[in-house]
Structure 1
């Protein structure tokens, strides 16, 4: 009887442990369930998604968009190229408890919280009430991590714009790219070889950084391909894509209408043509150099269209209409429509990404896993809920990282909010809207 009792006691203790694990979950980020029923696992798929994923992601996008809009309203939008900002917000203006967001395997929003602020009863905390009020929702769960988002911004700023970049350059290290990974709570850095890897890992002592050797070079996606698209030539084939229609509010309340695309397609003021299928290209308008912003947080150009051009806001070869602009968290599924590769999908890999392309330095881009090729530059990047005929603009496709073997590793795009802010200019800004 004693032996049976010992076995039963062990079994009871084991079952108790299992129940506790299921109810409370492992807060490390690698396991499944939390007390709210949310999974703390990053979504890495863009196809074969579970039912309800895209609708959940849409709700998550609304929450993060409200968060950024609230901070922009409170502190203003910073468009200075020599200051690293994410969604126009400086490191010091992010709440001290906030550490980023990601989309889990169900499409639901997880908000990363600095561990000293976190506890199991976090819904009773003042910071939680503040955040919920800012985003006007409680449809999210929280997860503890080490570094705040402000610290992550300061860390990526140091290696892309600050003193650390200069010191590494003196040591022969040229960083290929860097990005904020909200899920891992780190700044990921890519270098070209083992020698640079050893130098930078010896120099950077903080575990806020994660360094790896990469076999790719960032490039813009300009090319010459047949099919729907735009070109700067009255007789040539297509070289880039357009994103979406937009308008500028000029003094006197007059609107100037046109399309948004990428600035790297231009080298100054240029006419823009579209192929009508009649053997010649039709002039649709022009892009003045004053409305081309390349470098920093933006790669955007405004094409002022002629009065005889009808501006459609449906995605090419579909019935999907573009609506308002939204932000996208890491793990979000996004779609790109470009002239050369059509519609491709992928997940957001970094919420803020920095790299040099074509002699220009860029910050606060978004790195994704979708496929792209030359000719896709300037195309629209969007998200879309399930079974609806509308979508939400998140950015303008810029380029990709191509390995030495010619394969595409990642793609990246500029955030629509940053592009619109860059076009407005400084001093007396001219508002620019998508519509």
Structure 2
């Protein structure tokens, strides 16, 4: 499945990322001494990158056996997969560009390891486990979820009475929201678009569809690069926030006539559809920064613009009947990973520190947590932020005894 000859290159890449992940490294050192995950099998469906490799070795340092498959085949770094395949206690099922059938087979291979804890980036493991392998539920301590899209799926399962294990919503931890969504995805999304197209953002109109924590960061950074930014939203509070931040806010069909570059980041299907494509300018660029490749209606795009012609390695050009060209990036997959390298390692340092400590929490709870999606404990969130500040040499003030008393008093 992996080419052993790539392992040396993978080790170099992993070491480079590790140098920028001091928080996870400090947790790995403690795990190596305390072994809080001794004897547990952890299944992970994540982007197989150098940063993920450092999470995997942190878990194995804590005593876990780890089975890993790819959440996004286009993000898989084959040299990293090759290196992890040589690590004791690690089984890797991932190959760059694998098709959907292979992906599904790899998810099944990971679940065949009978995990006690799952780590998801899109809920594929837990959805598949509940649908196809309910026999594994009895021994399952719980799981963690890294993405907004995954939490949408899991909460839908919970609403239907189908979620039969606890899930820690890592994506909603405060440290994750600030670092991963606002800074990480924002920077890496623009990086992926620029790598794929080599376009100048200054002077262009960028349409951001979705103004959550990630969309807000993308909009701010696009404006910082000199773009005119238009925001499209369905939530009135988010729309008001965008307007107060100085962005134009309008319906997506109106924005379709204005935009040069479109970035979807909503977690919803068909955010850009046929009516939008028919209104767009010649040369418009379509990029998705949501988790799944459903936000741009690919079937409608192919129906009116054909299968598309590759014009750059990650750009497919679709020609409409009137001769206009629409440029789809990375086949509609998440552009920051498919066309870029994803988040910088220093961002994933916090995300994976939260994951490691959440796995430790599930192991320590030993099946006593209630079923359903629940927040990451606040002490984990605060500890990760504290460790990050310490790595930056930053100190904080502390409340005095009088201030603590005042905050507790109702008088």
- What's the TM-score bracket when you normalise by the shorter of the two chains? under 0.3
TM-score w.r.t. the length of structure 2 is 0.25
**Greater strand proportion:** 1
TM-score w.r.t. the length of structure 1 is 0.24
Q: Which has the larger radius of gyration?
A: 1
**Greater helix proportion:** 2
